[in-house]
């Protein structure tokens, strides 16, 4: 009588939490890279330094995305 019939299945709440965490990682990575690209393009057009700032800020955005992924895997906020 006091058995849990769902002991073999993951809870719905755990599944949704995992899905939200994976979605958060993907959104964070894409936003940081796109922010670097757009900022680089804007500064290139403003300062007439094409394509150097685009390259620099794209790499900075990718680095920020990798650091964010590393921090999330370590459990930091």
Q: Quick one: pLDDT at residue 61?
A: 95
pTM of the complete model:
0.74
Q: Is 57's pLDDT higher than 80?
A: yes
Residue 30: partners with Cβ closer than 8 Å, 6 or more residues away: 65
Domain ranges of the chain: 13-74
How sure is the predictor about 65, in pLDDT bands with cuts at 50, 70 and 90? very high
User: What is the pLDDT at residue 75?
Assistant: 77
**pLDDT surpassing 60 at residue 71:** yes
Q: CA-CA distance, 40 to 55, in Å (whole number)?
A: 7
Dist CA 54 CA 37 (whole Å): 6
Least confident of 16-20, 36-40, 68-72, 73-77: 73-77
């Amino acid at each position: 009588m006091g058995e849990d019939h769902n002991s073999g299945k993951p809870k719905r709440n755990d599944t949704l939490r995992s899905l939200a965490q994976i979605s958060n990682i993907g959104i964070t990575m894409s936003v940081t890279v796109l922010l670097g690209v757009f900022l680089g393009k804007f500064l290139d057009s403003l300062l007439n330094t094409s394509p150097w700032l685009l390259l620099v800020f794209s790499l900075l955005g990718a680095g920020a995305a990798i650091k964010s992924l590393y921090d999330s895997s370590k459990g930091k906020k």
